[in-house]
Amino acid sequence: MVKFIPINRLYNDIGEQYLDLVSTLYKNADTHFEDHYTTECETLLKKICGRKHAFLTTSGTASINIMLLAADINPGDNVVTTSYSCPATVMPIKLMGANPIFYDINRYGCQDVANITHTAKAILVTGLYGDSCDFDKIDHPMVLNDSAQCLGGLYKNKSSVSYGDMSILSFATNKNCPVFGTYGAVLTDNDALADKIWLMRRNGYRNRDVGNSIQHIGINAQPHEDKALQLYCSLQYLEKWQLRRKQIANFYKDELKKLDITIRPSPAYSETNNHKFCIFVNDKTNLRDKMLDNGVECQLHYTYNFSQVPILSKQLDSNFIFTEKFKQHAISLPSSPWLTDTEAETVVQTLKKCIADADKGVTIDG
C-alpha cells in the first residue's frame, strides 16, 4: 500500500535523536524541564518565518483561538473568512460566538481577497495546498493569517507566514514539519499583541500573584517540552523534506501532463511549499476508491462548502463558484517527503489504470 502519510517513516527520521534527547530531558527533569526546546523552536520559527515573535501552542486550532482573542473578537462580531478550508479555520470563530462571513476561494484554491468589501472586525485568511492568498490586495486593519499549511511557502519572495497582523502554524502529522499528533504556533511582529498572545495561551494570567487584576480571557495552550523536542527534531529535517517534496511534485507534473490530467495551478504571486499535490478530476470520490482498491491512498481535500453548512452559515443562498469546483473535483495524491521513487512511479501507473476518460482535461475556469 502506498500510504498518504507513512508516519512510521517520520519516526525513522527523527526517532533516534528524539529518544536520546527525551531521556536526558526526563532524567534531569528537575533542572532541564523548563522551556529549553520551546525557546529553541520559537527562535528557529522566528528566523524561518521572518517574524519578531513566535509562541508555540498545543495546536493550529488553539492558535487560531488565540489570534481571535488577541484581536479582541467578541460574541456577535463579524469575521470574514473562507468558505473552503479545513474546518479548523472556521470552528474557532463559531466557538467565540462571532459570525463568520464567508467568501469564495480563487482558482488556485486559496482565499479570494480581491472582492472583500464587508466591514468586519477582522479578516481571517487561509492559504491552502502550500500557497497563500494575494496579501497585497487586502485592505483591512486586522488581518489574521491561517498559514497552518504554509511553512516554507513564499509570497512575493518572503515567507507567507510573515504576512498579517498575526499568523499561525500547525505541526500536525499531515503538515510539512510534523510531530506525532499536533502542535502549533502564533506569530506576530507587534509587541502589544505578542504580550497578549503570551498571556492568552496560559489562561490570561502572568503568574499566581496577579490577584484580581486578570486582564484577558485565555485558554490553556501552553507548550510542553517533550512535544517541543519532537518539533525541534523535525525542524532539523525541514530543508531536506522540502527538497524531496519539490522533486516529487516535479515528477508528477511531468508525468501527469502526458496523461492530460489537470493539475491545480499555483499562483504567480506565491511559491508553493508543495504541502499537497492536488489534481482535478470529474469524479473524485470514485477515483479515491479505485486508487485505494489498487493500493494507493489518496485524500479528498476538501469536501465542504462552509457557506452551505447550516450550523456554520447564514449565507445558504450564496453561490461560490471556485469553492464548488474544488469541493467537487480536487483530490490530493500521496506526496509526503518519505515517498520513494518506486512509490511515486506506482502512483502514476495506478492513476493511469484508474483514471476515467471523463476525468481528463477537467477545467478549473468557466
Q: Does 187 bind ligand PLP (CB under 6 A)?
A: no
The least CB distance from residue 214 to ligand PLP, in Å, is 26
H or E element that contains 167 = strand 166-170
CB of 16 to ligand PLP, least distance (A): 25
How far apart are CB 312 and ligand PLP at their closest, in Å? 15
Query: What is the strand order of the sheet 330-333 is part of?
Result: 262-263, 277-280, 330-333
Q: Are 283 and 299 within 8 A, CB to CB?
A: no
Phi, psi of 204 (to 5 degrees): 85, 5
Q: How far is the CB of 191 from ligand PLP (least distance, A)?
A: 25
| Binding flag, residue 184, ligand PLP (CB under 6 A) | yes
Check binding of 126 to ligand PLP (CB under 6 A): yes
Residues touching ligand PLP, count (CB under 6 A): 15
Q: Which is nearer to ligand PLP, 219 or 255 (CB)?
A: 219
Nearer to ligand PLP, 149 or 346 (CB): 149
78-82 and 99-103 strand pairing = parallel
Closest CA to 161 of 294, 32, 67: 67
Closest residue (Cβ) to ligand PLP? 60
Residue 2 half-sphere exposure, CB side, CA atoms within 13 Å?
A: 29
| CA 315/CA 309 separation, integer angstroms | 9
Any contact of residue 131 with ligand PLP (CB under 6 A)? no
Q: Which of 6, 38, 48, 60: binder of ligand PLP (CB under 6 A)?
A: 60
Mark residues 61-100: x for contact with ligand PLP by CB under 6 A, - for none. Answer: x-----------------------xx-xx-----------
Contact 14, 359 (CB under 8 A): no
CB 334 within 8 A of CB 2: yes
Q: Report DSSP state, residue 23.
A: H
- The single residue among 104, 112, 131, 146 that binds ligand PLP, judged by CB under 6 A, is 146
Minimum CB distance to ligand PLP, residue 128 (Å):
6
Please report, as residue ranges, which positions from 254 to 293 form the binding site for ligand PLP (by CB under 6 A): none
Count CB atoms within 10 A of the CB of residue 80.
26
Q: Which is nearer to ligand PLP, 134 or 146 (CB)?
A: 146
User: In angstroms, rounded to a whole number, what is the distance separating the alpha carbons of residues 354 and 282?
Assistant: 12
Of the ranges 27-35, 53-61, 309-317, 358-366, which one interacts with ligand PLP (CB under 6 A)?
53-61
Sorted by sequence, the CB contacts under 8 Å of residue 212 that are 6+ apart come out as: none
Grid cell, residue 287, equals: 477515483
Positions that interact with ligand PLP (CB under 6 A)? 59-61, 85-86, 88-89, 126, 146, 148-149, 170, 172, 182, 184
